[in-house]
């Protein structure tokens, strides 16, 4: 299972590079850092059916850091929600794959996101609705570590703990960088574990690029009761492409054709997370 998911994570990374070089815009750094998380979610964890994207009993996923839409689109396409060829139309006028996810246009997208902080609020609302309706679906929400500077995140965190939303799992893509630099320099959010615990959440920590660890931590989260759970995933921004790794300049800049060729050669050649 882990080998299959690792290969899928590599395919997702290739999709991201191919989409962005075609679009000539987008966000590679935070998309690449989340590829392993998304591969585990969409190919093992989530209870979903690509043939029925609106299935009422499906698990929900919310990409709170909506600018990382390429990693979500790649996961959805690889999972069969729409043809993979559509990825190459990213950000084209009139196409359904825009710079941020649109739940009214993209099959498999459960919430439109982009305004940072709002995704986790929507996810908490979905989880509360599930409790009220006595449904057994679970809600997963991926946040950026720069995003948690938004006050709205902590209002949602308090509400989720107050309502004991143990069907809500947050995943924090902790790659340490945001558009303006290092998180600790822009607005330090440490200590992360203690902060989420203080807001009433279970907190689990994991290597966000270790497939086996991710599978285990999601299994553990399913069995934690009485509180929402936050998984702090330690990741590397730009993971998988050597010249993008830990480089803040790759937050929101698409690669040139020459850079994309180098990136794809690395991914396909097996030197870094190869297929």
Helix/strand/coil (H/E/C) assignment for every residue in 200-216? CCEEEEEECCCHHHHHH
pLDDT digit string, tens, across residues 126-163: 999 999 999 999 999 999 999 999 999 999 999 999 99
187: three-class secondary structure by DSSP = coil
Residues in CB range of 128: below 8 A, 6 or more apart = 159, 163, 165
At residue 275, the pLDDT reads: 58
DSSP 8-state symbol, 43: I
At residue 271, the pLDDT reads: 47
pLDDT digit string, tens, across residues 153-187: 999 999 999 999 999 999 999 999 998 889 899 99
Q: What is the DSSP string of 131-149?
A: HHTT----EEEEEETTGGG
pLDDT digit string, tens, across residues 52-88: 999 999 999 999 999 999 999 999 999 999 999 999 9
Angle, in degrees to the nearest 10, between helices 2-23 and 257-269: 170
Whose tokens are 């993008």? That residue is 244
Average pLDDT over residues 188-211: 97
Q: Hey, CA dihedral for 146, 151, 152, 154, is it positive or negative?
A: positive
Q: What count of Cα atoms within 13 Å lies in the side-chain half-sphere of residue 232?
A: 18
Q: Which two tokens stand for residue 178?
A: 């945001």
Whose tokens are 């069995």? That residue is 223
| Residue 258 · residue 231 · CB < 8 Å | no
173: three-class secondary structure by DSSP = strand
% of the chain surpassing 90 pLDDT: 95
pLDDT digit string, tens, across residues 202-235: 999 999 999 999 999 999 999 999 999 999 999 9
| Residue 243 · residue 262 · CB < 8 Å | yes
Residues in CB range of 164: below 8 A, 6 or more apart = 226, 227
At residue 274 the predicted structure's pLDDT band, cuts being 50, 70 and 90, is very low
Q: How far apart (Å, rounded) are the C-alpha atoms in residues 142 and 169? A: 9
| Residue 50 · residue 112 · CB < 8 Å | no
Give the CATH number of domain 2-269; options: 3.40.50.970, 2.40.30.10, 3.90.800.10, 3.40.190.10. Answer: 3.40.50.970
Q: What is the phi/psi pair of residue 171, to 5°?
A: -125, 120
């Amino acid at each position: 299972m882990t080998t299959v998911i690792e290969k899928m994570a590599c395919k997702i990374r290739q999709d991201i590079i191919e989409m962005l070089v075609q679009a000539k815009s987008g966000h590679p750094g935070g998309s690449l850092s989340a590829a392993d998380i998304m591969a585990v979610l969409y190919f093992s964890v989530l209870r979903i059916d690509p043939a029925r994207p609106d299935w009422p009993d499906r698990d929900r996923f919310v990409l709170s850091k909506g600018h990382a839409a390429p990693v979500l689109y790649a996961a959805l396409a690889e999972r069969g929600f729409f043809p993979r060829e559509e990825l190459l139309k990213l950000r084209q006028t009139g196409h359904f794959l825009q710079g941020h996810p649109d739940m009214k246009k993209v099959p498999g997208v459960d919430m439109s996101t982009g305004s940072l902080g709002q995704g986790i609020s929507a996810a908490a609302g979905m989880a509360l609705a599930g409790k009220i309706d006595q449904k057994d679906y679970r809600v997963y929400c991926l946040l950026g570590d720069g995003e948690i500077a938004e006050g709205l995140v902590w209002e949602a965190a308090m509400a989720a703990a107050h309502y004991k939303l143990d069907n809500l799992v947050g995943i924090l893509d902790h790659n340490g960088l945001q558009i303006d630099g290092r998180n600790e320099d822009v607005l330090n959010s440490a200590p992360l574990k203690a902060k989420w615990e203080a807001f009433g959440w279970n907190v689990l920590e994991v290597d966000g690029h270790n497939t086996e660890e991710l599978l285990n931590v999601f299994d553990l989260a399913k069995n934690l009761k009485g509180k929402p759970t936050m998984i702090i995933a330690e990741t590397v921004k730009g993971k998988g492409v050597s010249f993008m790794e830990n480089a803040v300049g790759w937050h929101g800049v698409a690669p040139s054709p020459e850079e994309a060729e180098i990136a794809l050669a690395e991914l396909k050649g097996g030197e870094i997370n190869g297929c």
